[in-house]
């Protein structure tokens, strides 16, 4: 029983009255509160969306509000209606219970996903152990370039799945190769006297060489006050690497390959010593310098406009490629692949239009670029010492606004900035696409 307008009425009469098309009564409001509470419970389970707005802090519900805000119900507003209060408390209790079930379900799903990941890792480990030298398929030479172009192996555009790898059976030789040899990237950072290039007082910059092109001290932006390496979109870069041995010098790729042969069985040499096994070829790619792991997705410079999540550019590079000539997937002998000869490998290319730091979008606008250089020999690809990454740099459309022609600076013995004469520059950037790098006195 409850009191409405001074008269005592039973519950049945109250709800019968609420069904009549009369002016709203307090009983009608109580019934609406009940319906709103039930709708709120359903909406939290994903069954009804937009039916009611729940105003709460953590698990405490303060009010229920209609989507248009015209009606709002609180527990206090139902104080005179015990039946409505009972429904409110019941609905809130069920809602809280449902929230706990959802949280428990999320934890269960997370635990299952982690278990599946561990099982997948364990399965892959078992598969690797099961690959014995007697398996002729494991000795087969790397897939030839034309087969890769046809998609025979289904290699991905980015990530570790791109690489074809083989394991060196003799651990002692594998350890020696990893510790004795390393790949060094040639950087144009000094004049022929060994003095490092310094940013000029007025220009706050200096040209360097074929890579990097320049060094600029930034006055504003995220690099304010820092000396940052820069490459120009108007000039090609020349990337040169050389093989270094800690135990002897000079050294060539033949030393590495002979030691590598000593770690293989006659069966492996007879069945699997192909073009990429019998050489040291290297693949160059443009990355972001966001993660030390060269295969991390955070380093991917994505130019695919259809990939809304990963696309890096505000204005899409022509043809959705980063470099000029366009980059190819590994093992296809594109312009960004180079073969080591007599301990040295070199390649030359430029940047595609719109591949600049100012054209990066969102959070990627804070990223710097780098070149990652990977050895394609399947026995050496996974060794860190046979892969190298350049220091971070930014890409500007042009350097004409920052530097005068051939403006280079070093400090003399007194610490005073001095202009570098042209014959003291070991290597300069190519003057035009396809032209060789200019080499001065003592340049390689």
Mapped onto helix, strand or coil, the DSSP state of residue 237 is strand
In a domain, 178, yes or no: yes
Tell me, yes or no, whether 78 and 221 share the same domain. no
Please check whether residue 33 is in contact with residue 73, taking contact to mean a CB–CB distance below 8 angstroms. yes
Tell me, yes or no, whether 96 and 143 share the same domain. no
In a domain, 444, yes or no: no
Tell me, yes or no, whether 96 and 153 share the same domain. no
Tell me, yes or no, whether 145 and 75 share the same domain. no
Residue 18: which domain range? Answer: 2-100
Report the residue count for the chain: 444
In a domain, 124, yes or no: no
- In eight-state DSSP terms, residue 196 is B
In a domain, 200, yes or no: yes
Give whole-number Cα distances, 151 to 124, 143, 145, 284, 295, in Å. Answer: 23, 10, 10, 21, 21
Tell me, yes or no, whether 321 and 229 share the same domain. yes
Which residue from 301, 305, 300, 326 is spatially nearest to 316, judged by alpha carbons? 305
- The answer for residues whose C-beta is within 8 angstroms of residue 311's C-beta and 6 or more apart is 302, 303, 304, 305, 361
Tell me, yes or no, whether 142 and 83 share the same domain. no
User: One digit per residue, pLDDT tens: the chain, 444 residues?
Assistant: 444 444 444 444 444 444 444 444 544 554 554 554 444 444 444 444 456 777 776 667 778 878 777 788 888 888 888 888 888 788 888 878 887 888 888 788 788 877 777 776 666 554 554 444 434 445 666 655 544 444 444 334 678 888 889 988 889 999 999 999 999 999 999 999 999 999 999 999 999 999 999 999 987 777 788 899 999 999 999 999 999 998 877 899 999 999 999 888 888 888 888 889 999 999 999 999 999 999 999 999 999 888 888 999 999 999 999 999 998 888 888 889 999 999 999 999 999 999 999 999 999 999 999 999 999 999 999 999 999 999 999 999 999 888 988 899 999 999 999 999 999 999 999 988 889 988 875 445
Tell me, yes or no, whether 214 and 296 share the same domain. yes
Which residue from 320, 306, 310, 308 is spatially nearest to 290, judged by alpha carbons? 310
In a domain, 67, yes or no: yes
In a domain, 307, yes or no: yes
Tell me, yes or no, whether 325 and 435 share the same domain. yes
What sign for the dihedral angle of Cα 398, 401, 404, 407? negative
Count of structural domains, the chain: 2
Q: Label residue 138 exposed, middle or buried (CB < 10 Å: 0-12, 13-18, 19+).
A: middle
Q: Alpha carbon 349 to chain centroid distance?
A: 23
In a domain, 132, yes or no: no
In a domain, 108, yes or no: no
């Amino acid at each position: 029983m409850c009191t409405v307008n001074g008269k005592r009425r039973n519950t049945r009469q109250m709800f019968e009255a609420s069904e009549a098309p009369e002016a709203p009564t307090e009983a009608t409001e109580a019934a609406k509160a009940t319906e709103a509470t039930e709708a709120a419970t359903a909406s939290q389970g994903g069954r009804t969306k937009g039916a009611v707005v729940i105003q709460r802090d953590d698990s405490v519900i303060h009010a229920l509000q209609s989507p248009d805000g015209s009606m709002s119900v609180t527990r206090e507003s139902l104080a005179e209606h015990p039946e409505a209060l009972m429904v409110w408390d019941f609905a809130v209790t069920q809602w809280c219970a449902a929230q706990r079930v959802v949280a428990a379900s999320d934890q269960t799903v997370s635990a299952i996903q982690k278990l599946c990941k561990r099982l997948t890792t364990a399965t892959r480990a078992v598969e690797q152990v099961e690959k014995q030298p007697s398996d002729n398929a494991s000795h087969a030479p790397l897939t030839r370039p034309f087969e890769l172009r046809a998609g025979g192996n289904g290699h991905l555009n980015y990530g570790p799945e791109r690489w074809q790898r083989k394991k060196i059976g003799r651990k002692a030789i594998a350890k020696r190769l990893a510790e004795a040899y390393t790949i060094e990237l040639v950087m144009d950072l000094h004049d022929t006297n060994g003095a490092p290039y310094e940013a000029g007082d007025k220009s706050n910059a200096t040209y360097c060489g074929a890579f990097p092109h320049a060094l600029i001290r930034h006055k504003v932006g995220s690099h304010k006050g820092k000396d940052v390496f820069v490459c120009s979109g108007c000039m090609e870069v020349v990337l040169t690497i050389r093989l270094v041995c800690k135990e002897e010098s000079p050294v060539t790729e033949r030393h590495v390959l002979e030691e590598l042969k000593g770690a293989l069985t006659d069966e492996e040499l007879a069945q699997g010593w192909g073009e990429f096994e019998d050489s040291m070829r290297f693949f160059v790619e443009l990355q972001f310098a966001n993660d030390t792991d060269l295969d991390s997705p955070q380093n991917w410079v994505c130019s695919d406009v259809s990939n809304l999540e990963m696309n890096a550019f505000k204005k899409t590079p022509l043809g959705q490629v980063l470099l000029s000539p366009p980059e190819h997937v590994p093992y296809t002998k594109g312009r960004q692949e180079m073969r080591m000869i007599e301990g040295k490998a070199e390649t030359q290319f430029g940047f595609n239009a719109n591949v600049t730091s100012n054209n990066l979008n969102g959070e990627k606008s804070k990223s710097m670029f780098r070149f990652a250089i990977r050895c394609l020999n399947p026995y050496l690809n996974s060794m860190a010492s046979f892969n190298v990454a350049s220091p971070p740099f930014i890409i500007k459309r042009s350097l004409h606004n920052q530097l005068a022609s051939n403006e280079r600076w070093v400090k003399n013995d007194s610490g005073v900035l001095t202009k570098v004469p042209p014959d003291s520059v070991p290597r300069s950037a190519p003057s035009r696409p396809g032209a060789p790098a200019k080499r001065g006195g003592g340049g390689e």
